[in-house]
Amino acid sequence: MTFTTCPGCGAIAEVVDRFTLPSTAGPVEHIRTHCVHRHWYTTLARQPATDHAD
Ligand SMILES: [Zn+2]
């Protein structure tokens, strides 16, 4: 499981999906997050998410 911060409220949010969209600058990775307050966001994955195998 990968966690990040909710862009809306700053709470902990789970990364539920991850996908790549084409852009003029090349493929851009996006992530879909779902926070503890039930906010859904699709944002750019600007930096490699902390991806722990455990
Ligand atoms: Zn939120």
Q: pLDDT digits over 42-54, tens only? A: 999 875 545 565 5
Task: Indicate whether 32 belongs to any domain.
Answer: yes
Task: Indicate whether 54 belongs to any domain.
Answer: no
The chain-wide mean pLDDT, for the chain, equals: 88
Domain that holds residue 8: 3-44
Q: How far is the CA of 16 from the centre of ligand 1 (A)?
A: 14
Task: Indicate whether 15 belongs to any domain.
Answer: yes
pLDDT value, residue 15:
96
Task: Indicate whether 53 belongs to any domain.
Answer: no
Q: What is the mean pLDDT of residues 7-36?
A: 95
Strands (E), the chain: 3-5, 12-21, 28-35, 40-44
Count of the separate structural domains present in the chain: 1
Expressed in percent and rounded to 5, the helix, strand and coil fractions of the chain are: 0, 50, 50
Around ion ligand 1, which residues have CB less than 5 A away? Answer: 6, 8-9, 11, 35, 37, 39
